[in-house]
Structure 1
Amino acid sequence: MTHDNGARLLSADEVVEAFRRELERQRKPQHTVRAYVGDVRSFRAHFEGEGGSLFPGGVRSDDVRGYLSALKAKPATLHRRRAGLVSFFRWAVSAKHCSESPVEGLDAVRLAPLRPTQRRALGAKEKKRFLATVKEHGTLRDQAVCELLLATAIREDELVHVRLEDVELGEHSGSVRVQGQGSRKRTIPLHRSVRRALSSWLAARPVLGPFLFPGRYGGALATSSIRRLVDKYERRSGVAGITPHVLRHTTLTELARRKGHDIALVAAYAGHAKPATTALYLQPTQQDMEAAADSLMED
């Protein structure tokens, strides 16, 4: 497993075991140790079952929110579960297994279940406006990052670990190899516009490290840098609510619903372990509901 800051790599199981040892070192009561470790394992199972990867460094606030909402438990139980995750992620940040806690600021009692219509996907005009803004104002690197996010539905924690050797570009075809959850790998074809953006970036890219988008010292770029990059062009474009995950969701929604591709193909494209996860992209968005309501007034 990997994370943003280059600390010694541990598998997810090793990280959880290290957390357990830390609780014991702090002389926490055994029932607390069992409860907190159980909370972490329960969350990890949910996270990976939903297609998440690179635990714990790849966990985002929406992942925790979705987990707590899915529990449908009493407030006291939600508080207990949240307390276990707060303890774990505070330790994980201090131990440099992730860069920031995704739990801070989430109030378990106020979490409402996430409805399918709350899963944000950009409309065609919003997508076009966002990309036009990146092309007009963005550096070659930023253009390549945003084109790749939208063309492949790659997760940001997968994107930052793409190496030069993982990219193949030709005049009429191209692909990128992606290391997903666990040992699963997938190869995603690249269409012409993203091949063009990557070729321009590679021609200007500094000779620094093995990664397609290197950080300052040649290591993997931090996922927080990808989020800040997308935030920058979200503000410039005036299209609210754009995140790397929204770009991923936009592409998968387009493949599954607007283009009507087979769900197994979309699951392979997304790197989902379970097609049931991909089925979420067949659910109607809020925009779909509004369009349906408007259609009732049409002759």
Structure 2
Amino acid sequence: MNFDMRSTVGVSYVTDKELYTLSPAVQECVDAYSEYLTINKGLSANTVKAYISDIEQAMHILHLRGIDKLDDVTRDQLRSWMAHALHAGMSKTSLARKVVALRGFFEYAHGHDMVQSNPAANLATPKQASRLPEVLNKSQAQAIVETQTVREQEEDHSAIALRDNAMMELMYATGVRVAELVSLDLGDIDLDQRIVRVTGKGNKQRVVPFGLPAMHALDSWINSARVQLVTEETPSAALFLGSRGGRINQRQVRSIVHERARAAGVPDIAPHALRHTAATHLLDGGADLREVQEMLGHSSLSTTQRYTHVSLEQLKKKYEQAFPRA
């Protein structure tokens, strides 16, 4: 059975569970899977809620087509559901997430004898458009790192300004993720050796070098300014502190990067774009791909290879500008 687009074209892809209708038999299987994700997999409440919402949303659409048993679901019907979702305006990214959720659900259902076969076993996610990472050129990167905001200028080398300088220099020098930056402790920094010990995804640690500008900025922050923000509640080990003395959070760092971008007159970027920028500039300067992979903490070399495409695109632009017959 394939979808008649006219019969479900008005269905809204909402996330309000009250608007979903599932048969009691299907709902029982979904509830069992929810318990499995929570107890056996140890997933957080928010993660489980997201998975279950995606599953219920898809099964609701199938219910509207008269499919009320898991054994009645076929791969062709799931593909038709995917086509309907795209037709209704769902993004490929959102649909890919829902397909992954459905695959996990049907794998669980098949493994627990809730369904005779797994219709989602070979269900492919929609192909995503390849997007190159957003990066700044070298002059823009220098501007965002060195240009202070109005707030920082008014405070004139205050603890806040020196902290922001140190964070910007370190992010650009090492390509650390913002989550890694805010979790750094004082003991992770070695100013003499100019290295930082970073704890990345999966609690994997790596040692990343940094240059003199970052060293001077960190020295000014650690040895001159940090004490000005310390309070009785300050975590003794935290490297970067917020204005109230606690460990700085990711939201505050993102806000600082956006403010710096506006002040510097460069494209508005998020902290992750500084990571992309650092990697691209390293490769432009002749760094080895595997060295950049190790520095960024990528588990797969293919992830790092994206930056070679960025460098190639920049080379093409320079070529077209330089050669009249390009």
Would you say same fold, with TM above 0.5?
yes
Aligned residue-pair number: 219
Q: Among residues 115, 118, 138, which one is paired with 1:124 in the alignment?
A: 138
Q: Secondary structure at the match of 1:134?
A: coil
Cα deviation digits, residues 83-126 of structure 1 (max 9, x gap): 8969xxxxxxxxxxxxxxxxxxxxxxxx972433xx22211221
Q: Among residues 42, 61, 79, which one is paired with 1:14 in the alignment?
A: 42
Cα deviation digits, residues 241-296 of structure 1 (max 9, x gap): 3321111111101112x122221111000000011100111003554332121122
Q: Does 1:113 align with 2:129?
A: yes
Give distance in 2, aligned partners of 1:204 and 1:23.
Answer: 45
Change (3 A) 1:240 1:163: same
Structure 1 residue 80: deviation in Å? Answer: 9.3
Q: Does 1:76 align with 2:85?
A: yes
Change (3 A) 1:230 1:34: same
**Partner of 2:225 in structure 1?**
204
Give distance in 2, aligned partners of 1:16 and 1:34.
Answer: 22
Structure 1 residue 134: deviation in Å? Answer: 3.3
Q: Secondary structure at the match of 1:177?
A: strand
Contact 2:293 2:304 in 1 (8 A): yes
Q: Secondary structure at the match of 2:207?
A: strand
**Partner of 1:233 in structure 2?**
260
Structure 1 residue 130: deviation in Å? Answer: 2.0
Q: Secondary structure at the match of 2:197?
A: strand
Normalising by the residue count of structure 2, what TM-score does the alignment of the two structures yield?
0.58
Instruction: Give the alignment's Cα RMSD to 1 decimal.
Output: 3.5
Change (3 A) 1:75 1:281: farther
Normalising by the residue count of structure 1, what TM-score does the alignment of the two structures yield?
0.63
Task: Map 1:179-190; keep pairs closer than 5 Å.
Answer: 179-190=199-210
Higher alpha-carbon Rg: 2
Task: Map 1:243-258; keep pairs closer than 5 Å.
Answer: 243-256=270-283, 258=284
Give distance in 1, aligned partners of 2:296 and 2:129.
Answer: 24
Q: Secondary structure at the match of 2:221?
A: helix
Change (3 A) 1:161 1:254: same
**Partner of 1:213 in structure 2?**
240
Contact 2:174 2:295 in 1 (8 A): yes
Amino acid at match of 1:142: D
Structure 1 residue 32: deviation in Å? Answer: 2.0
Q: Does 1:194 align with 2:206?
A: no
Task: Map 1:59-98; keep pairs closer than 5 Å.
Answer: 74=83, 76=85, 78=90, 82=94
Give distance in 1, aligned partners of 2:189 and 2:204.
Answer: 17
Unaligned runs of 5+ in 1: 1-9, 37-72, 87-110
Q: Secondary structure at the match of 2:147?
A: helix
Cα deviation digits, residues 168-195 of structure 1 (max 9, x gap): 112xx32111110002111111211111
Change (3 A) 1:276 1:80: closer
**Greater RCO structure (CA 8 Å; 6+ sep):** 1
Give distance in 1, aligned partners of 2:307 and 2:280.
Answer: 5
**Partner of 1:69 in structure 2?**
none
**Partner of 2:306 in structure 1?**
280
Give distance in 2, aligned partners of 1:23 and 1:262.
Answer: 39
Q: Secondary structure at the match of 2:196?
A: strand
Amino acid at match of 1:32: E
Change (3 A) 1:18 1:188: same
**Partner of 2:167 in structure 1?**
145
Structure 1 residue 33: deviation in Å? Answer: 8.6
Give distance in 2, aligned partners of 1:297 and 1:148.
Answer: 40
Give distance in 2, aligned partners of 1:23 and 1:254.
Answer: 38
Change (3 A) 1:79 1:153: closer
Q: Secondary structure at the match of 2:198?
A: strand
Structure 1 residue 224: deviation in Å? Answer: 0.9
Change (3 A) 1:184 1:290: same
Give distance in 2, aligned partners of 1:289 and 1:80.
Answer: 29
Give distance in 1, aligned partners of 2:317 and 2:279.
Answer: 20
Give distance in 2, aligned partners of 1:164 and 1:35.
Answer: 50
Q: Does 1:161 align with 2:183?
A: yes
Give distance in 1, aligned partners of 2:315 and 2:42.
Answer: 44
Instruction: Tell which deviates more after alignment, 125-134 or 149-158.
Output: 125-134
Amino acid at match of 1:225: Q
Structure 1 residue 240: deviation in Å? Answer: 1.3
Structure 1 residue 225: deviation in Å? Answer: 0.5
